[in-house]
Chains A and B, each alone.
Chain A
Amino acid sequence: MKPDALPLIHTFWPLLLIGVGAFASLITSVWGSVRSFRVTGLLAFGIFLGAAYGFATLDPVAHSLAGGILRADGLGYFLSFLICLIGAVTVVFSFNYWENLSEPVQEVLPLILFAALGMVLMVLTTHLLTLVLALELMSLSLYVLVGSRRADPKSSEAAIKYFLLGSVAAAFLLFGISFLYGATGQMDLSLMGQQALSPDKALLFQVGVLLLLIGFAFKVAAVPFHFWAPDVYEGSPAPVTGFMAAGVKVAAFGAWLRLLHVLVSWEFLELRTLLVILSLLTMFVGNLAALRQRSLKRIMAYSSVAHAGYLLLGLATLVEGAVFLEAGMGVILFYLGTYGLLTLGVFAMLTLFSSKGKEISKLDDLKGLGYTNPVFAAALTVFLISLAGIPPTAGFVAKYFLFARAIETGLIWPAILGILTSAVSLYYYLGPVVQMYFHDPVGEKSMPAATLGMKVLVSFLVLGAFYLGLFPGKYLTWSNGIRLEASRSTPILSGMPQTRP
C-alpha cells in the first residue's frame, strides 16, 4: 500500500462510494425486471445520501493527494454535497418516471451514478487532465441518458446534437489545456499557481485560457455557445433534463471557480471584462429568447441560459486585478444551490406530468391544471416565480445577494442590466402560470399517481424555496465561510450555525 492511500480513503470515501456504487448498480440492473429497477433505485438513492452525508461531515484538509488528482477543500466538498443531493433527487424522479413503464430502461440509474461520479470528480480535482476525464465521464453518461427515450426520434436527435457539440467543446477544452501546459509546463493547478510566467508566454496563455473558457461556455450553455440547449432540453426525458440542468451547472461552475482562482494571478487577460461581456450576452439572449417559447422545457432551457449569465456575473465579481476575491464565492454557491433546488422543482413537476413515456411540456397542455391538480399547479407556480426572483422566495434572495455583490465590487451597470433582464424574465415564467390558472381545462386530464417519495420530495422543495427565501441569513453566512484554503474551513455540517441569529 502506498503511503498516501490511507488518507486517500479517509478524505475521499464518499467519492469511492459513488464509484463502487455505480459498478454495483450495473450488476443489480442486469436482470432487467421491474424489481431489479427498484432495487437499483434504492441502492442509488442510498449511495447518494450516504455520499452527501460524507461530504458534509468530512474535514477539509486542503492539500492535494495522489499527485494533485484530488484535492480536499471546502469548496470541493460543498459542491460535491450539492451534486449528491441533486443525484438523490434525480433518482426519486426516475422512480416516478420509469417505474410506470412495463419495461423500465435499466441502464438509466447506473448512468446517473456515473454522471454524478464525473461531476464530483470535476469539482474535486485540480489536475487538468483529470478534469477532462471527469468531464468526459459526465458527458458520455449524459449523452446516453439524453437518448434514453428510444422510441422518440426527438430524444435521439437531442442525443446526437448534444454528443456532437459536446465533443467539440471537449476538443476546445483539451486544446486549451495543451496551450496552458505549453505556457506553464504544469498540469496541476495548485503547482501552476506557484509559477511565474514570463511575458513571452503571454500569447500561449491567452489562447489557452480563451479555449478553456469556450469549452466551459459550451457546457453551461453560455451565449454564443448555447444553441444546443433548447433542443437537448426538449428531447431528453424530464428527469434527465433536470439532472443535467442542475448538476452540470454546479460541476462546471465549480471547475470554473477553481480555474479562476489560479488563472487570475497572471494579468495577461482582462478576465473580468471578458466574463462581464459573456455574462451580459448570456443573460440578454437567454431572457429574450425565452419570451417566444411555447414549451415549458424550452423555456427552462433558455432560463438555464439566463441563469448561467447571472452566475457568470457572479464569477466576474471574484476577479479584481490579479486577486481572486475568495470571500465573494459565497453568493455564487448560494445561487448555485438555489438554482439547483428550483430547477429540480420545475422538472419534478414535468416528470409528474409526463406519463407512460409521453412527455408533456407544451404550454397548452398545462391549461386548467390549477383546477384539475391544484396542489401540483401551486407547487409549479412557486418554483417558477421563485426562478423569476419574486420575494419572499429563495430565488429573490439569491439574485439579490448576487446583484448586491456585483454593485459592491463596482460592476454597477452590469448589475442594473441584470436586474432589468430579470424583470423581463417574469413574463415568460408567468406564461405557464397563466395557462394553468387563467384558462379552463381542455379535455380529460389524467395525472399519474405520484409516488410517495415524489410527494415528500416536492413538499421538501417547496418548503426549501420558502425557507431559503425567508431565513437565508444563516445559509449565507455558511456559504460565505466556504473556502479553498483549509485553515479557514470547517466541515459543512459543523460550519452551519445551529442557533438562529
Chain B
Amino acid sequence: MDKLPLLTIITFAPILGMIAISLIPKEKKNAIRWSALLATLPSLLGAVKIFMDFDRTTKAMQFIEGPLNWIPSFNIQYHLGIDGISVTMVILTALISTICIIASWNIEKQLKGYFILFLLLETGMMGTFVAIDFFLFFIFWELMLLPMYFLIGIWGGPRREYAAIKFFLYTMAGSVLILLVMLALYFYSDGHTFNMIALQDQSLHQGPLSSHTFRMALWWGLFIGFAIKVPVFPFHTWLPDAHVEAPTAISVILAGVLLKMGTYGFLRFNYQILPDITVDMIQVIAVLGVINIIYGALCAMAQTDFKKLIAYSSVSHMGFVLLGMASFTSEGLNGAVLQMFNHGTITAQLFLIVGIIYDRAHHRDINGFGGLATTMPRYAVWTTLAFFAAIGLPGLSGFISEVLIFLGSFKTWPWLTTIAVSSVVLTAGYMLWTLQRVYLGKTQEKYKDFPDITRREAFCLLPLAVIVIILGVWPRPILSMMEVSLNALNQSLVPYGAHVASGLGF
C-alpha cells in the first residue's frame, strides 16, 4: 500500500490500546486512564486528517483500503472506505469517544475492565461506519453489542441487569433480521457479493431479488433491524431503560453514536440497495418520523427523571432525521445527516450535564432540584447553551439542520411537516420547564455547597459547545462534506419518484 491505511488505523488503534491496558496492573489507575485516552488519540487525529483531506467534490468512496480477500470461499473481503454519508459519523465517533474517556475519569469500579470494553466498543463503532463489505459491517455491528452490554450491566444503575439484557435482546433481534437479509442479498445477487457498493447496482438483482414481494420482505427486514437501533417507535422501549441505567459516558456514546447507526443503515442499505421499495414505503418512514417527534416530545415532558427526559428527547430528535430522509429532497437528506451529526454533539452535552449533577446529588429527580444557577453559575451557563441548542435556537447548530429538514419535507409532506413543526413548541416547553425547575427558583438548602463545574467536566463540554456554535453560524465545513454524496443519492432516487435536487441555500 502506497498510502497510510488511515481507516484501518482509526478503527484498530483502540484495540492496541486495549491490549496495552490489559498489561497494566490494575492498581495503577492513572496509568490506565491515560493509556485509554492515548489510545483514542490516533482515531481523533485521523479524523482531523480526514476532515482536512476529504475530497468534497466527489460522491465516490474515499480513503479506500482493500479489497483484500478475507474468507475467499464466501467472497468476503476486508474493504474499507468512506463517503459523504459516513464521513461525518466517523468524525463524530472519534470526537465523542475521546470526550467520553475524559468523562469517565472518575470511574473507580473495575477501572481496567471498563476501559478495555470501552476501547473495544470504539473499534466496533468506527468499523461499522467505514466497512464497505456487508459481512464486515455486520461483524463490527455485532462487535459493539457485547461491550455495550457489559458496560451497562456492570457499571450501570440499580436496574442495570434488566436494562442490559433488554438492550442486548432487542438489538440482537434486529441483528438477526439484518443477517438474514445479508444472506439473501448474497445468494440472490448476480456474482454473489457482500460488497455494498456493488449491491447498489440494480442489474445484479436477479431471480427472486427482482420480485417485488421478496424485495419488500428484505426491505422490512433491514428497516426493522435498523429501526430498533434508531430507535423508531414502537421499537424504542429499550432506550429509556438503557439510558437511565447506563453510566454517563456510556449514555453519551449510546445517544451520540449508536443511535446514528440505525439511520446510517437506512441510508446505506434501504435507500441505496432497495431504492424502489424505499420510495414505495416512504410514507411509512415519514409517518413514523412524525410519531417519533411528537411522541418522544410528549413522553419527555412527562418525565421527572432528568436522564429519562433527555433519553426521550433523543427519540424526538431522531424523528427529525427520519422526516428529513423521507422528504426525498436534497435539503431534507442533507438536513437529516446534519441532524445526525448535530444531535450527536448536542445530546452528548445534555447527558454530560445530567452526569455532572448526578455525580454531586446522586439522584436525578427534576423536582428535587432548584436554584442550581445560584450555587453553580458556570454550570448553568453550559446547560443553557446546550438546552438552547436542543430547542433549535437560531445561531446554534440544531436550528440549521431542523430548518433544512422542514424546508425539504414541506415540499413532500406539507401536513406532516406542519404537525412536526408544532413540536418545536413542545421541545421548547419541556426543555425550558426543566431549566426552570432545576436551575431557577428557590435554592435548595442541601445543595448549597455543591462545587461548580470542574475544569475536567468543562473540558468535555467545550469542544462540543464550540462545534455547536460554529455550525450554528457557519455549517459549510460539515455540509460540504456530505452534500455531493447526498445530492447524488437523491438524484439516484429520482427515477423512482423523488424530487429533483435543488440548492441548499446554506
Is there a chain A Cβ closer than 8 Å to B180's Cβ? yes
CA distance in complex: A166, B169 (Å)? 38
Is there a chain A Cβ closer than 8 Å to B168's Cβ? yes
Residue of B110, B113, B183 most packed against chain A (CB within 10 A): B183
Q: Mark A341-378, 1 if CB is under 8 A from B, else 0.
A: 00000000000000000000000000000110010000
A358 to chain B, nearest CB (A): 28
Contact assessment for A437 and B169 in the assembled complex, using a CB-CB cutoff below 8 Å: no
B residues less than 8 Å from A472 (CB atoms): 71
Contact assessment for A392 and B180 in the assembled complex, using a CB-CB cutoff below 8 Å: no
Residue of A371, A391, A426, A430 most packed against chain B (CB within 10 A): A391
CA distance in complex: A374, B153 (Å)? 16
Contact assessment for B70 and A430 in the assembled complex, using a CB-CB cutoff below 8 Å: no
Checking B69, B74, B187 against A501 with a beta-carbon cut-off of 8 angstroms, the contacting residue is B69
Is there a chain B Cβ closer than 8 Å to A43's Cβ? no
Is there a chain B Cβ closer than 8 Å to A197's Cβ? no
B residues less than 8 Å from A28 (CB atoms): none
B residues less than 8 Å from A36 (CB atoms): none
Report how many residues on chain A are interfacial, defined by Cβ distance under 8 Å.
Answer: 34
B residues less than 8 Å from A8 (CB atoms): none
Contact assessment for B172 and A423 in the assembled complex, using a CB-CB cutoff below 8 Å: yes
Contact assessment for A438 and B164 in the assembled complex, using a CB-CB cutoff below 8 Å: yes
Known: A390-B142, A390-B146, A391-B139. A404 touches B164 (CB 8 A): no
Q: Mark B136-154, 1 if CB is under 8 A from A, else 0.
A: 0011001101100110011
CA distance in complex: A419, B146 (Å)? 19
A376 to chain B, nearest CB (A): 14
Interface residues of A in 458-485 (CB under 8 A from B): 471-473, 476-477, 480
Checking A374, A391, A392, A480 against B73 with a beta-carbon cut-off of 8 angstroms, the contacting residue is A480
CA distance in complex: A392, B173 (Å)? 18
Contact assessment for B165 and A404 in the assembled complex, using a CB-CB cutoff below 8 Å: no
Residue of A390, A416, A419 most packed against chain B (CB within 10 A): A390
Contact assessment for A426 and B183 in the assembled complex, using a CB-CB cutoff below 8 Å: no
B residues less than 8 Å from A426 (CB atoms): 168-169, 172
A residues less than 8 Å from B138 (CB atoms): 391
A415 to chain B, nearest CB (A): 8
Chain A interface, >50% SS class: helix
Contact assessment for B165 and A434 in the assembled complex, using a CB-CB cutoff below 8 Å: yes
Q: Mark A380-420, 1 if CB is under 8 A from B, else 0.
A: 00000100001110001100110110011000000110011
**Minimum CB distance partner of A371 in chain B:** B110
A residues less than 8 Å from B173 (CB atoms): 423
B residues less than 8 Å from A473 (CB atoms): 69-73, 76
B residues less than 8 Å from A477 (CB atoms): 72-73
Contact assessment for B168 and A419 in the assembled complex, using a CB-CB cutoff below 8 Å: no
Contact assessment for B146 and A501 in the assembled complex, using a CB-CB cutoff below 8 Å: no
Contact assessment for A430 and B168 in the assembled complex, using a CB-CB cutoff below 8 Å: yes
Is there a chain A Cβ closer than 8 Å to B79's Cβ? no
B residues less than 8 Å from A434 (CB atoms): 153, 161, 165
B240 to chain A, nearest CB (A): 20
Contact assessment for A392 and B143 in the assembled complex, using a CB-CB cutoff below 8 Å: yes
Checking B76, B160, B175 against A438 with a beta-carbon cut-off of 8 angstroms, the contacting residue is B160
A380 to chain B, nearest CB (A): 14
Known: A371-B110, A404-B183, A473-B73. A427 touches B146 (CB 8 A): no
Is there a chain A Cβ closer than 8 Å to B179's Cβ? yes
Interface residues of B in 391-441 (CB under 8 A from A): none
CA distance in complex: A422, B176 (Å)? 9
B206 to chain A, nearest CB (A): 16
Known: A437-B154, A438-B164, A476-B73. A419 touches B169 (CB 8 A): no
Interface residues of A in 422-437 (CB under 8 A from B): 422-423, 426-427, 430, 434, 437
CA distance in complex: A390, B140 (Å)? 11
B12 to chain A, nearest CB (A): 12
Q: Mark A23-45, 1 if CB is under 8 A from B, else 0.
A: 00000000000000000000000
B residues less than 8 Å from A408 (CB atoms): 187
CA distance in complex: A130, B115 (Å)? 57
CA distance in complex: A390, B173 (Å)? 13
**Minimum CB distance partner of B135 in chain A:** A400
**Minimum CB distance partner of B156 in chain A:** A438
**Minimum CB distance partner of A469 in chain B:** B139
CA distance in complex: A407, B207 (Å)? 15
Checking A390, A391, A437, A480 against B153 with a beta-carbon cut-off of 8 angstroms, the contacting residue is A437
CA distance in complex: A46, B172 (Å)? 44
CA distance in complex: A477, B71 (Å)? 9
Contact assessment for B176 and A438 in the assembled complex, using a CB-CB cutoff below 8 Å: no
CA distance in complex: A408, B70 (Å)? 20
Interface residues of B in 170-210 (CB under 8 A from A): 172-173, 175-176, 179-180, 183-184, 186-187
**Minimum CB distance partner of B208 in chain A:** A412
Q: Mark A473-501, 1 if CB is under 8 A from B, else 0.
A: 10011001000000000000000000001
Contact assessment for A419 and B176 in the assembled complex, using a CB-CB cutoff below 8 Å: yes
Contact assessment for B168 and A391 in the assembled complex, using a CB-CB cutoff below 8 Å: no
CA distance in complex: A54, B70 (Å)? 30
CA distance in complex: A183, B70 (Å)? 49
CA distance in complex: A370, B150 (Å)? 11
B residues less than 8 Å from A403 (CB atoms): 183
Contact assessment for B71 and A476 in the assembled complex, using a CB-CB cutoff below 8 Å: yes
Contact assessment for A423 and B176 in the assembled complex, using a CB-CB cutoff below 8 Å: yes
B501 to chain A, nearest CB (A): 38
CA distance in complex: A407, B74 (Å)? 13
Contact assessment for A407 and B176 in the assembled complex, using a CB-CB cutoff below 8 Å: no
A residues less than 8 Å from B165 (CB atoms): 427, 430, 434
B residues less than 8 Å from A437 (CB atoms): 150, 153-154
CA distance in complex: A397, B139 (Å)? 10
**Minimum CB distance partner of A403 in chain B:** B183
CA distance in complex: A408, B175 (Å)? 20
B residues less than 8 Å from A391 (CB atoms): 138-139, 142-143
A residues less than 8 Å from B179 (CB atoms): 400, 419
A residues less than 8 Å from B168 (CB atoms): 426, 430
Residue of B69, B72, B73, B165 most packed against chain A (CB within 10 A): B73
A residues less than 8 Å from B139 (CB atoms): 391-392
B residues less than 8 Å from A407 (CB atoms): 183-184, 187
B residues less than 8 Å from A385 (CB atoms): 146
B residues less than 8 Å from A370 (CB atoms): 154
Known: A438-B154, A438-B161. A419 touches B180 (CB 8 A): yes
B residues less than 8 Å from A416 (CB atoms): 180
A residues less than 8 Å from B145 (CB atoms): 390
A25 to chain B, nearest CB (A): 40
Q: Mark B57-70, 1 if CB is under 8 A from A, else 0.
A: 00000000000011
A233 to chain B, nearest CB (A): 25
A87 to chain B, nearest CB (A): 30
18 contacts between A and B (CB under 8 A): A390-B142, A390-B145, A392-B139, A419-B179, A419-B180, A420-B176, A423-B172, A426-B172, A427-B169, A437-B153, A471-B70, A472-B71, A473-B69, A473-B76, A476-B71, A477-B72, A477-B73, A501-B72
Q: Which 8 A-B pairs have the closest CB atoms?
A: A473-B71, A391-B139, A423-B176, A391-B142, A438-B161, A438-B153, A501-B72, A476-B73
Q: With A407-B184, A419-B180 given, can you name 15 additional A-B contacts, CB distance below 8 Å?
A: A374-B113, A390-B142, A391-B142, A391-B143, A403-B183, A404-B74, A408-B187, A419-B179, A426-B168, A427-B169, A434-B165, A437-B150, A473-B70, A477-B72, A480-B73
